[in-house]
Amino acid sequence: MKSNKIAIFCDNQKGSTGFYVYNTLKELGFEVDIFSPFSAYLIKDKIKDKYFAYICVDDSSHYFFPPSLSPSVLWLIDTPFSFHLDKIMSKYFDIVFCAQKTFAEKLSSPEKKVEWLPLACYPKFHSRKSTDKIYDLAFVGSLDKKRIRIKNTLEKEGLKIFFGQSDPTNIGKIYSSAKIVLNTNKRFDLNMRVFEGMCSGSFMLSEDFDGRKDIFKEDQLAVFSSEDEMLEKIRYYLKNEEEREKIAYSGMIEVLEKHTYMNRVKRILESLKNSSIKKTPSIAEVILFTTLEIIRMVWIKSGMRNIVTKTLGPIYLP
């Protein structure tokens, strides 16, 4: 096994968590090879004992990981959308992290503790850029019905906004150009946008999220619990520049010190000193796992998840 070689299994699309982990490992001096998670069983004999560690970063796919590839690490990102599949999959890794606090607790068992490891920022892309504040407010991300409604509300307010998607390399510049960075989430989730926006040095106004009080102080960002409260706080902080900038600066210092992908990758590497014992899946678990994954894909692609969630609120099956 080579101490400077790491195998990473993920989607390496620019701007994904896997992309940031890969680049951070390279910055630390590791030689990193990327593989598809689904190729692990096919190539397990070829790559066994050739790497210091085998790290899987969640890309919304589900699979069993070969027990022979060890020590193995799984960082789950989208557990609110596939809890039961993630619970099964996590059993077969030496070390497991989850980006959501509540779900890290739900996934933990007497046999295996799942550690909460939130997402982060990548300062090379997201740090403060020298630019004028040309936007009152900026949001970078995909637009669902809720976000389109918010966008329309803000436009009716007469605000100058950036609201939509962007190349990941431009996110820091967009956020640096805004007085306020807005974050909305799904299922009370602490997402990447919180850290990316705060890293830019602009004021973060976020929909409230799981674990906020555990990692941030009240003077590092502002939160809202309804669209009316959101609008009220946007109006307030646009008028109170000194207070807004003081909070923004405090938040920026916090994330640059504690919430970068360098912080996260170093924690993953540290965890390798104390890996636990994993097991091989039984035939019954393979059948259950495969069935759940098929149901999940039909559930998503048919649009039923969106319909049911809109009617009944967030649910976690499958």
Per-residue pLDDT of the chain (318 residues; tens, 9 = 90+): 567 999 999 988 999 999 999 999 999 999 999 999 889 999 999 999 999 999 999 988 888 899 999 999 999 999 998 999 999 999 889 999 999 999 999 999 988 899 999 999 999 999 999 999 999 999 999 999 999 999 999 999 999 999 999 999 999 999 999 999 999 998 899 999 999 999 999 999 999 999 999 999 999 999 999 999 999 999 999 999 999 999 999 999 999 999 999 999 999 999 998 765 455 555 555 565 556 556 655 655 665 545 444 443 433 333
Q: What is the pLDDT of residue 62?
A: 87
Length of the chain: 318
Q: What is the pLDDT of residue 311?
A: 41
Q: Do 5-120+262-312 and 123-259 fold alike per CATH?
A: yes
pTM of the predicted model, to two decimals?
A: 0.87
Q: What is the pLDDT of residue 308?
A: 41
Q: Cα separation of 112 and 89, whole Å?
A: 12
User: What angle is formed at CA 161 by the lines to CA 170 and CA 203, rounded to 5 degrees?
Assistant: 70
Q: What is the pLDDT of residue 280?
A: 56
Q: Which of 94, 92, 172, 93 is nearest to 127 (CA)?
A: 172
The residue extents of the domains of the chain are 5-120+262-312, 123-259
5-120+262-312 CATH pick, 1.10.150, 3.40.50, 3.40.1710, 3.30.360: 3.40.50
For domain 123-259, say whether CATH 3.40.47.10 is its number.
Answer: no
Which residues does 242 contact at the CB level (< 8 Å), separation at least 6? none
Q: CA 273: distance to chain centroid?
A: 24
Q: What is the pLDDT of residue 315?
A: 39
